[in-house]
Structure 1
Amino acid sequence: MTADKNSGYRKNFSLIITFLILISVFFVLSLFLAYNFSKKFIENEFVSEKVNVLEASITPYNEFFQNKLPEVSYYNGYLDSATTSRFVDTLLLQYPFVSRVVFYDTEVSTIPVRDGLNIGHFTMGPKYVYQFGSLVPMDSVKLFAKNDPSTAMRGDEFNTLGIKLINYIENLDTARAPTADELFSNFSVVRSNKITYLNIPRFEDLKVYKQMMQRKLSTSPVYQQDMLTFYLDPSKIKIINANPKLYQNIRIEPLTYDPLDTSSQFVTTEITLPGPFSDYKLYFISAQSFVDKAIFRYFLPIAIVLMVFYGVLVLVGFLIYRNLNINQKLYKLQYDFVNNLTHEFKTPVSVIKIAGNNIRSAAALTEREQKMYGRILDEEADKLNGLMNKLLAFTQIENKAIQLNQEKVNIVDFIESTIESHQLKHPDFHFTYEVSGFKNFTTDPVLLGSLFDNLAENAYKYSSPDQKYLHVSARHIKGKIVFRFTDKGIGIPAPEINNIFKKFYRVQNQYNQNGSVGLGLAFCKELITLMKGEISVKSKVNKGTEFKIILPYNE
């Protein structure tokens, strides 16, 4: 923290931590709200989805009521027991909830009847009454015969629908044809667990029926009518569970059914069956654990979306932290660069200024003093010039402003001249070299010289006084020139290997406290890239370092 303050850089990590805490709180709160929403939604679905189950389960009944019952009218009153038996057999197979059918083979005439309805000169009574069904005993198929005194007419359903028919005929508007809905509703009776239906006569016949109630007709017409009572068993309704992931068990119970177990371990709801089944209800029951699974299934996709969103925000926070960290390092590198560059410039400038002041203040200079001051001024000027040239060259390389000057180089002469120049500067610097596989190759000698000079300077600078040593090897291998620069210096720690080619980066050691800008190896890397080559390094601390450079071979 002190280093940050001293360098003038502030990371504001507290803002990142606050951001992460806020989004974490928001994430947890979102999960909580999402779960409550999922729970409420599933609870509402548990109550509302029962309508879909009801509709799916009573679809066969609706089809029977709307399509099968009207088929009775197609026979125009001329059904007989055999035809009705076949009709009922088909019906029982198709609609299992129909348990039995009572067939009233009925006549409408002007002749009074003993078992039936007599209104004015309108009479309606059964000739025969038959019962059909899979569980009906054979001896009870015929329940009543008009001419058989041994049979008795039990006509509750017959009388109910007959009275409804008489009321309708009495109020019939003969000037207007009734609608299909009017006829259907007046020629059927829906009661608990049964439906009674009378075939619908023609409108002209209904007019005659009304006349028969009002006066005696000159003729004595007889009309055939078929009345059927369908007895229904609600327990035979096939329950269609339209949502098996929500409803664990569905059954049909009487309206008065009251479960004994009403613990919180179960969730229940119910809905009344329609029409003739109105004394019964669909009863839905699921274990709480079963409903919890449905809640989790609904909640899981929402939670995944929230987690992805949270992950994106955390990633954003991480990237901000990473950028701040990188910016801090860059700032520190630049800060160190400015400090070191200032020091690099300040030292020779100070020496030049001191030498200049001495020359100016001296009354007379001996020949020895002139040579000394001349050498000092020359060396310090060379340092300044070299530093400026390196910075300029680095900038030109980065901006692709340098063009390669291809010249043929004798590698042995080139290496020996490099050795000589460095040994003049550093007499204690020991050089060895070897060349194999080639003598000459085409390259830019200036850039190659800069490369050799930088690596040689590093080998000398980062070695202990008794280990100032560098071995250079040059080999021609498979169309490439491979240079190896091996020293016996202090080495590079493994964690630093990946950073040494970065601009302004300096490995912290006893030889690098001052006097390094952090451009040497970065400059080498840019040079080699420009020359379409590669550079790598191997190093062991206190053992030495080897730089390997691969350049294309051009004769």
Structure 2
Amino acid sequence: MTSVKNSGYRKNFSLIVLFLILISVLFILSLFLAYNFSKKFIENEFVSEKVKVLESSIKPYNDFFQNKLPEVSYYNGYLDSATTSRFVDTLLLQYPFVSQVNFYDAEVGSTPVTNGLNTGHFSFGPKYIYQFGSLVPADSVKIFSKSKPGKFSRGDDFMTLGFKLISYIETLDTTKAPNADELFSNFSIVRSNKITYLNIPRFEDLKVYKQMMRTKLKTSPVYQQDMLSFFLDPYKIKIINTKPKLYETIRIEPLTYDPLDTSSDYSTTEITLPGPFSDYKLYFSSANSFVDKAVFEYFLPIALIVLFFYAILVLIAFLIYRNLNINHRMFKLQYDFVNNLTHEFKTPVSVIKIAGNNIKSAASLTEREQQMYGRILDEEADKLNGLMNKLLAFTQIENKAIQLNQDEINIVDFIESTIESHQLKYPDFNFTYEVNGFTSFVTDPVLLGSLFDNLAENAYKYSPVSHKFLHVTAKLIKGKIVFRFTDRGIGIPAPEINNIFKKFYRIQNQYNQNGSVGLGLAFCKELVNFMKGEITVKSKVNQGTEFKIVLPYND
């Protein structure tokens, strides 16, 4: 039966080892896959997140293009140099990428102009041209005046947008109002590093412009138009790195920029700037070690989660192993207990049976034989009764099924009575005692007697023939009764000290060959605990053992 149990235990243990190997392989594989996933994810992020950087960086430009430019139309062509100067000052502070603004104070009329455009009875030309900017000298603000002869020198933007205006008016459908997007696209020009914008006239004015191109009006109306050219510097765009853990450096470079250093130590990507900045790009560069750090930071939480689940599985395997181990030890203890208990019962039962058979088979018995058989039967019955009482008492104490009696005892009389009973049983037992500090105390005499008997039996049993000795001291120390049981026996090995009070545990030595249930010291431990005391042990192999018991003192 034991071999079958051991075989099952070894099989279960092998399954646990196999389970640990399997989850360890899965753990390593999971970490490998998690790292590769993290690396792939960061590589994709490195390529895709540049769009968010671009969106954040050009957000001020989008605000300028969508909200600030249309403000020019609010003035309906009546901007002057002073108002424009203040407008530009605010603009330069709010949008640093605007480096200079040229202001064309223009008008539309039916009288032909020298510096401008003429088609039919429609004319479009500047009255004044101004330039504003932080680097523009104060004496160079006005660069053209209609009252002075000659052509203006910076008319490319004006002429280009003028042609666009004329083309738009010629194709204008006057039966329906144009939408905002149509007007905005036809009254602005986006070029490299420059946006030119003409304030949008009212729809009624556009109808008049169309009539002026076809026929001569009876009156000669004049309409004010304002045109502004915004010079943009892409290098003054503030780069907002929304992914500082991903991109080490971000620069604005020409679209044709090609780095000289193309080593594999760096990861790079790029994205073109929109609109007037389309000749430039955002250039992203990160050292591979920098990217690896981002990979590790992303991988670490995943690894910790995988490690957490791995630890749970290992813990489960450990708990299963521990339970198997405990069950195996419990089985062994129970098996040994049954064997030893059987042996303990078998010996007196065998003796009783032999004595009974001898009595039954004898024709007659002498008085001496009757006394001998009577003594044998009585002694063996006492052994059986003592063993049963010990098992019953142990169970009752362990389950708190009995009450602790409180009787006053004379300690000297109690110890001498114990000595007498054991010396009658073992004449070669040298039993001495010493009492200091008290003469009596209140306790349960039956339980204390069981405690003394068990420790005395152990002292006699586990001592060589020439060292059957036990010395008991009883002292009152700081309100506690301290008993010390000192023998000169074989001693207890240090590794076994922590096991001797365990139920059914037996130390393997020559003194246990004839059987021991393994309840004696466990019973003593339960007795002392039940009496609200403490028991400790000190021992040296081949020199002896001392048990120390501390009980409460009740006088």
Query: Quick check: TM above 0.5?
Result: yes
Tell me by how many angstroms 1:382 deviates: 0.8
Alpha-carbon distance in structure 1 between the residues aligned to 2:373 and 2:163: 142
Q: Which amino acid aligns with 2:551?
A: L
In structure 2, the CA distance between the partners of 1:44 and 1:7, relative to structure 1 (3 Å rule), is: closer
**In the alignment, which residue of structure 1 is the partner of 2:184?**
184
Q: 8 Å contact 1:254–1:281 — kept in the other structure?
A: yes
More deviation in 310-319 or 518-527? 310-319
Alpha-carbon distance in structure 1 between the residues aligned to 2:201 and 2:212: 15
**In the alignment, which residue of structure 2 is the partner of 1:123?**
123
Q: Which amino acid aligns with 1:10?
A: Y
Alpha-carbon distance in structure 2 between the residues aligned to 1:97 and 1:280: 14
Alpha-carbon distance in structure 1 between the residues aligned to 2:254 and 2:6: 85
**In the alignment, which residue of structure 1 is the partner of 2:253?**
253
Aligned sequence identity (%)? 81
Any unmatched runs of 5+ in structure 2?
none
Q: 8 Å contact 2:193–2:231 — kept in the other structure?
A: yes
In structure 2, the CA distance between the partners of 1:360 and 1:413, relative to structure 1 (3 Å rule), is: same
Q: 8 Å contact 1:106–1:225 — kept in the other structure?
A: yes
Q: 8 Å contact 1:7–1:332 — kept in the other structure?
A: no
**In the alignment, which residue of structure 2 is the partner of 1:514?**
514
Q: Which amino acid aligns with 1:542?
A: N
Deviations 1:212-243 (A, max 9, x none): 23322221111111101111121221211111
Quote the RMSD (CA, aligned, Å).
2.0
In structure 2, the CA distance between the partners of 1:458 and 1:295, relative to structure 1 (3 Å rule), is: same
Any unmatched runs of 5+ in structure 1?
none
**In the alignment, which residue of structure 1 is the partner of 2:64?**
64
Tell me by how many angstroms 1:545 deviates: 1.0
Q: Which amino acid aligns with 2:522?
A: A
Alignment of 1:476 with 2:439, yes or no, is no
TM-score by length of 1: 0.95
Alignment of 1:546 with 2:540, yes or no, is no
**In the alignment, which residue of structure 2 is the partner of 1:10?**
9
Within a 5 Å distance, the mapping from 1:27-426 to structure 2 comes to: 27-137=27-137, 140-426=140-426
Tell me by how many angstroms 1:40 deviates: 0.5
Q: 8 Å contact 2:115–2:151 — kept in the other structure?
A: no
Q: 8 Å contact 1:250–1:284 — kept in the other structure?
A: yes
Q: 8 Å contact 2:9–2:324 — kept in the other structure?
A: no
Alpha-carbon distance in structure 2 between the residues aligned to 1:526 and 1:197: 100
Q: 8 Å contact 1:4–1:10 — kept in the other structure?
A: no
Q: Which amino acid aligns with 2:506?
A: R
Q: Which amino acid aligns with 1:188?
A: S
Alignment of 1:451 with 2:451, yes or no, is yes
Tell me by how many angstroms 1:272 deviates: 0.9
Report the 3-state secondary structure (helix = DSSP H, G, I; strand = E; otherwise coil) of the residue aligned with 2:546.
strand
Tell me by how many angstroms 1:522 deviates: 0.6
Alpha-carbon distance in structure 2 between the residues aligned to 1:137 and 1:390: 115
More deviation in 128-137 or 28-37? 128-137
Q: 8 Å contact 1:9–1:328 — kept in the other structure?
A: no
Alpha-carbon distance in structure 1 between the residues aligned to 2:2 and 2:258: 78
In structure 2, the CA distance between the partners of 1:153 and 1:506, relative to structure 1 (3 Å rule), is: same
More deviation in 28-37 or 139-148? 139-148
Deviations 1:159-192 (A, max 9, x none): 2222222233334444544443333232211122
Tell me by how many angstroms 1:260 deviates: 3.2
Report the 3-state secondary structure (helix = DSSP H, G, I; strand = E; otherwise coil) of the residue aligned with 2:512.
coil
Report the 3-state secondary structure (helix = DSSP H, G, I; strand = E; otherwise coil) of the residue aligned with 2:510.
coil
Report the 3-state secondary structure (helix = DSSP H, G, I; strand = E; otherwise coil) of the residue aligned with 1:511.
helix
The aligned length equals 554
Q: 8 Å contact 1:340–1:515 — kept in the other structure?
A: yes
Alpha-carbon distance in structure 2 between the residues aligned to 1:389 and 1:445: 16
Deviations 1:489-512 (A, max 9, x none): 111111111111110001111111
TM-score by length of 2: 0.95
